[in-house]
């Protein structure tokens, strides 16, 4: 591949370190930020669908299930708690219709997904019959027989033996349980629908059924979290010995219940722990798991056996795979173009019923930004291979990103061991802030974590 040349970004490694948690969504999930994706680029996305895929690029499939028993106070995703059985069936019909439109386009052209992800919302909100209807329909349109990983998010209170067996029959290889905490008061004040007894029951059922990988989610710094309660939560999580654990640092995006409360009360600081405390709590959890043999594999994850718990969806998202994404507000990437669907329920349904793709906005990713995106996202894994990036993009990342890497080195955040460009533990725990130093000037934002 030809060499890529871009102007060096500003000599900074992220915005100034802030202590208090203020309102905002700071998690770097893609590049460039979603605010730069525009309706004007939808025509480019449509054109990309009519081109054959790039050789060697794997395909993933993401399905968004936007239904929940209750909306968490910190949730910023597109979810609905008011849909009846008829509306849910209509949504499942729309998902299959959307998938059928994509399956007929040249960009898919008979390809089979390498990885599949059911996210939400709460995918486990669906009944066993609804799960079977959706899964069977999707497999007819895009066979899963070559999929290496099928991930499914579940809320403990929606899970029983029958539901979990239906999820396993769907072909799910990784069940991800949104536990978040084990203290019932913490769960209640943060708006979670489940309680600790439901966690224990769901986890025991899942182990009995034999999912190849069970992941649990925790959140450090929820409203009314304390040192003692966090240590208890970590102790309970360690005792379960899950195959992997994902630990997030609490943030308060603008479209959350907590932010609306802050705004009504005239507060500038969120009622959660400050960033330094949240980083310390995540580090404590990491170290407790490391004591019993777990390995830290990213800014948010520890795994029991890295050879078995690979997170193939994350690998694909971070390394430029095509991700066919269906459902309201979902976002994907096909043939070099980012896209996102309508973010409201009825416009999404209306578009599908009119025989159209429900695309709301898109963004054509130039080569230099593709390099930047993959390098930044893979830094969230802790380290990257300079040789691998040089081979793929035609220029050594130590040259391509010399300015921000030098800033990280001077700040003590970087280590360089031969081929590996890596982040220290302290840097890894605040990586979303540090990635700001790599953004192109026109894409700078105030994100922090």
Rounded distance between C-alpha atoms, residue 378 and residue 373, angstroms: 8
Report the b/e string of 229-242 with b at 16+ CB within 10 A. Answer: bbeebbebbbebeb
Q: What average pLDDT does the segment 102-116 reach?
A: 96
* pTM for the full predicted model: 0.93
- At 110-164, the pLDDT tens digits run 899 999 999 999 999 999 999 999 999 999 999 999 999 999 999 999 999 999 9
Rounded distance between C-alpha atoms, residue 418 and residue 268, angstroms: 45
Hey, where are the domains in the chain? 36-315
Secondary structure E strands in 122-198: 149-154, 174-180
Joined tokens for residue 299: 């800014």
Q: What is the percent of the chain with per-residue pLDDT over 90, rounded to a whole number? A: 79
Rounded distance between C-alpha atoms, residue 236 and residue 161, angstroms: 22
- At 291-349, the pLDDT tens digits run 999 999 999 999 999 999 989 999 999 999 999 999 999 999 999 999 999 999 999 99
Tokens 């798991």, residue located: 289
Q: What is the percent of the chain with per-residue pLDDT over 70, rounded to a whole number? A: 95
- Report the CATH number of the 36-315 domain: 3.80.30.20
Residue of 100, 115, 105 whose CA lies nearest to 52: 105
Residue of 144, 9, 157, 4 whose CA lies nearest to 63: 144
Tokens 């992941």, residue located: 215
Burial class (CB in 10 A: 0-12, 13-18, 19+), 83: middle
Rounded distance between C-alpha atoms, residue 273 and residue 295, angstroms: 26
């Amino acid at each position: 591949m030809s060499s890529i040349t871009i102007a060096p970004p500003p000599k900074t490694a992220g915005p100034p370190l802030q202590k208090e948690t203020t309102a905002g969504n700071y998690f770097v999930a893609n590049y460039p930020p979603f605010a730069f994706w525009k309706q004007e680029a939808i025509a480019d996305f449509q054109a990309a669908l009519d081109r054959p895929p790039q050789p060697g690029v794997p395909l993933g499939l993401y399905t968004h299930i936007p239904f929940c028993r209750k909306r968490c106070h910190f949730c910023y995703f597109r979810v609905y708690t008011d849909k009846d059985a008829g509306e849910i069936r209509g949504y499942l019909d729309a998902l299959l219709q959307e998938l059928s439109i994509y399956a007929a386009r040249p960009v898919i052209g008979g390809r089979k997904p390498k990885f599949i992800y059911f996210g939400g919302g709460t995918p486990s909100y669906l009944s066993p019959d609804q799960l079977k209807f959706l899964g069977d329909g999707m497999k007819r349109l895009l066979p899963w027989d070559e999929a290496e990983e099928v991930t499914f998010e579940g809320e403990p209170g929606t899970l029983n033996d029958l539901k979990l067996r239906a999820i396993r029959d769907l072909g799910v290889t990784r069940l991800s349980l949104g536990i978040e905490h084990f203290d019932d008061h913490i769960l209640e004040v943060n708006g979670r629908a489940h309680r600790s007894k439901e966690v224990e029951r769901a986890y025991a059922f899942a182990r009995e059924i034999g999912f190849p990988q069970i992941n649990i989610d925790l959140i450090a710094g929820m409203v009314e979290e304390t040192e003692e309660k966090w240590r208890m939560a970590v102790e309970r999580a360690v005792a379960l010995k899950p195959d992997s654990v994902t630990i997030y640092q609490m943030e308060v995006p603008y479209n959350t219940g907590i932010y609306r409360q802050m705004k009504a009360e005239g507060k500038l600081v969120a009622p959660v722990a400050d960033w330094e405390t949240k980083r310390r709590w995540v580090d404590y959890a990491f170290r407790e798991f490391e004591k019993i043999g777990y390995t830290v594999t990213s800014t948010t994850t520890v795994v029991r056996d890295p050879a078995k718990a690979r997170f193939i969806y994350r690998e694909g998202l971070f390394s430029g795979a095509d991700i066919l994404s269906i459902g309201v507000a979902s976002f994907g990437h096909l043939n070099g173009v980012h896209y996102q669907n309508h973010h409201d329920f009825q416009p999404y349904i209306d578009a599908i019923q009119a025989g159209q793709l429900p695309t709301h906005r898109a963004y054509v990713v130039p080569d230099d930004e593709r390099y930047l995106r993959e390098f930044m996202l893979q830094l969230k894994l802790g380290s990257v291979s300079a040789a691998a990036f040089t081979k793929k993009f035609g220029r050594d990342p130590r040259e391509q990103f010399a300015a921000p890497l030098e800033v990280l080195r001077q700040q003590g955040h970087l280590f360089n061991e031969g081929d590996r460009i890596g982040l220290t533990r302290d840097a890894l725990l605040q990586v979303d802030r540090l990635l700001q130093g790599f953004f192109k000037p026109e894409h700078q934002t105030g994100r922090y974590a």
